Amino acid sequence: MLLLGDIEIRRIEETVLKEPTTLFAEWRKEIEDERPSWLASDFYLPAADAFVISIHSWLLRTKRQTILIDTCGGNAKERPASPRFHHLDTPYLERLRQAGVVPEKVDYVICTHLHVDHVGWNTRLVDGRWVPTFSNATYVLSRLECEARDPKRGGADQPPAAHLIFEDSVRPVLDSAKTMIVEGDEEILDGIDLVKTPGHAPGHMAVRVRSRGQEAMFIGDIMHQPAQVYNPSWNSKFCENAELARSTRGWVLEHCAEHGSMVCPAHFGRPHCGSVNRRGDRFAFVPADRSP
């Protein structure tokens, strides 16, 4: 657990994956020989020539609310286009309980965006139906992205496999859970506001948290690896709008360096979070002292 002022921060892990270095089009084998700091063993596996990708949620506990940011891949989901998330069976909910939280006690679920590994535990299978996992929570979703992903609206031209994500993990929430459909720049709770960070996905949002003069930015997939702190122009192969993703990443790095924000991405390896320092005209990632 980490403390940000009065707010407790924990990480709820679903799984850890190996991601080939083709994640970045700019990767070249010579980089490994240079062994820069962002190729530390917790981020990169030389024998596999692959990055460590942690799939996790961030759990925040204030004095009044329990908040979950992103919900990973989910169990028992049909994911033919994403084999690593196809029919998962993980103890995610047990890990949440070990952190002292049962699903019914989650007050808010914030989805930074609606990709396959960020919405899965929005729902779970009960008697053959997908129902909201966090039955008493308010789900916070981007209006723009809901419209873009909905097969009945802007997402109609996406392949059928992409429709599955919306139909089993988003639509049941829209139909039967409490929802807050947002533009992505609202203050949703005291000290917790959303920041528009498009590019990786059309409605991508970061979550900015402030308490007692301290700040953390939960940045979703603005960066997948510390490599992008040192190379902000590198997009992952999953970024949907390349130029916008680069512009957003640059702004976020500038902001976090200027404000001393703790940076909490959705996929960094251990210790999973840290800070960004400016070094001349570049940035550097400083891992946290310990993992939350």
Checking if the pLDDT of 155 tops 80, the result is no
Checking if the pLDDT of 156 tops 90, the result is no
Q: Which residue has the higher pLDDT, 260 or 34?
A: 260
Q: What per-residue string of b and e applies to 192-215 under the rule 16 or more CB within 10 Å gives b?
A: bbbbebbbbbbbbbbbbbbbeebb
Q: Report if residue 292 sits inside a domain.
A: no
* Mean pLDDT for the stretch of residues 241-263: 98
Cα 88 to the chain's mean position, in Å?
A: 18
Q: Do you find a cis peptide bond into 202, omega within 30 degrees of 0?
A: no
The pLDDT of residue 33: 83
Checking if the pLDDT of 16 tops 90, the result is yes
* Mean pLDDT for the stretch of residues 110-129: 98
115 to each of 35, 247, 286, how far by Cα in Å? Answer: 31, 20, 27
Determine how β-strand 108-110 pairs with β-strand 66-69.
parallel
Q: Report if residue 275 sits inside a domain.
A: yes
**Residue 224 belongs to domain with CATH number:** 3.60.15.10
Q: Report if residue 143 sits inside a domain.
A: yes
Q: Report if residue 11 sits inside a domain.
A: yes
Reduce the DSSP state of residue 163 to 3 states and report it. helix
* Mean pLDDT for the stretch of residues 248-272: 97
Q: Report if residue 250 sits inside a domain.
A: yes
Q: How far apart are CA 261 and CA 132, in angstroms?
A: 32
Q: Kindly report the pTM of this predicted structure.
A: 0.97
Q: Which residues are CB-neighbours of 22 under 8 A, at least 6 positions away?
A: 237
Q: Report if residue 14 sits inside a domain.
A: yes
> In terms of DSSP H, where are the helices of 82-142?
92-98, 116-119
Q: Report if residue 91 sits inside a domain.
A: yes
Checking if the pLDDT of 34 tops 90, the result is no
Share of the chain above pLDDT 70, in %: 99
Residue 159: which pLDDT band, with cuts at 50, 70 and 90? confident
Domain holding 146, by residue range, is 2-287
Mean pLDDT, the chain, whole residue set: 96
The pLDDT of residue 63: 94
Q: Report if residue 71 sits inside a domain.
A: yes
Q: How far apart are CA 165 and CA 220, in angstroms?
A: 18
- Give the number of domains in the chain: 1
Residue 129 CB-half CA count within 13 A: 8
The pLDDT of residue 161: 81
